[in-house]
């Protein structure tokens, strides 16, 4: 019998399955639900417990973590009549690690508090590689007591942890991250497209510029994938488009113009129009090679 608190993990996709695996490997009894059961198979084979709904998994756990796709999924999972807020154990800690809407994070926090539950919004950065290597950056919003309670679990997933303020603050920090990522994707794709058009070897140019002032995590890790024609998703186009939309909406509410991000929005809309929404974000480079 484990002395570690049981954890429910909802959403075992590209990143979630690795994150849940680290938690189970640390000795926590793991209860899982995913809309597609096959995506949880490796966890189930390793000893995780399957449940037929998110709510049923939550009933078995002291800590509930969600890693979902879109704000709509988060809202339904937490706030529906049969959702996590209604069905979680008394005193449970709810941690939403989805990149979602700051106002929705506040609503979840308020609903959870009214039920005697604790809630954090704690989106992450690092993609599939960061999830596999337990090197995610975790940006949290909520109260300090809940954050400290979550710290041992979050530390299994990454070492760069920060509480940025009250509910919704983690999502605002993630929006800042996504703005930098989305605009940065445009930058390195244009740089390598320029190099190719100039008759240079883009891979050799990448080797020269990725370690200097122009470098970034995305250029270092996603540039080679794009140059090799590997557009498998570490982070989906459909998800970066969702994040861009949230960031632009939030910026408009604050009276802030983000012309660089608007450029990225237009370009990723063209990527989607080509039918590439299920690819990784590095498929943006493919758009330039077709010009």
Q: List the catalytic residues.
A: 174
204 CB contacts (<8 Å, ≥6 apart)?
Answer: none
Q: Contact, 228 vs 222, CB < 8 A?
A: no
Sheet holding 7-10, edge to edge: 49-50, 30-33, 7-10, 63-66, 93-96, 118-121
| SS3 letters across the chain | CCCCCCEEEECCCCCHHHHHHHHHHCCCCEEEECCCHHHHHHHHHCCCEECCCHHHHHCCCCEEEECCCCHHHHHHHHHCCCCHHHHCCCCCEEEECCCCCHHHHHHHHHHHHHCCCEEEECCEECHHHHHHCCCCEEEEECCHHHHHHHHHHHCCCCCEEEECCCCCHHHHHHHHHHHHHHHHHHHHHHHHHHHHHCCCCHHHHHHHHCCCCCCCHHHHHHHHHHHCCCCCCCCEHHHHHHHHHHHHHHHHHCCCCCHHHHHHHHHHHHHHHCCCCCCEHHHHHHHHHCC
């Amino acid at each position: 019998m484990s002395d570690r608190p049981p954890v429910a993990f909802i959403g075992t996709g590209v990143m979630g399955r690795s994150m849940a695996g680290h938690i189970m490997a640390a000795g926590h009894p793991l209860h899982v639900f995913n809309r597609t059961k096959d995506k949880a198979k490796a966890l189930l084979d390793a000893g995780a417990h399957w449940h037929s709904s998110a709510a049923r998994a939550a009933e078995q756990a002291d800590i509930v973590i969600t890693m979902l796709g879109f704000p709509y999924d988060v809202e339904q999972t937490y706030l529906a009549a049969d959702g996590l807020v209604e069905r979680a154990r008394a005193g449970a800690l709810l941690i939403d690690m989805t990149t979602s809407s700051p106002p929705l994070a506040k609503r979840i926090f308020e609903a959870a508090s009214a039920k005697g539950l604790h809630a954090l919004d704690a989106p992450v950065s690092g993609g599939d590689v960061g999830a596999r290597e337990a090197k995610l950056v975790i940006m949290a919003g909520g109260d300090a007591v809940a954050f400290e309670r979550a710290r041992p679990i979050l530390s299994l997933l990454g070492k760069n942890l920060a509480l940025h303020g009250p509910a919704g603050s983690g999502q605002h920090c993630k929006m800042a991250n996504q703005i930098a990522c989305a605009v940065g994707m445009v930058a390195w794709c244009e740089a390598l497209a320029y190099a190719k058009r100039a008759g240079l070897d883009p891979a050799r140019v990448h080797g020269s510029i990725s370690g200097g002032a122009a470098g970034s995590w995305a250029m270092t890790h996603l540039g080679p994938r794009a140059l090799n024609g590997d557009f498998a998703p570490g982070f989906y186009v459909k998800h970066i488009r969702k994040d861009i939309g949230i960031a632009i909406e939030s910026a408009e509410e604050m009276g802030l113009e983000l012309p660089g991000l608007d450029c990225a929005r237009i370009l990723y809309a063209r990527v989607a129009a080509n039918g590439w929404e299920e690819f990784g974000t590095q498929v943006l480079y493919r758009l330039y090679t077709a010009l």
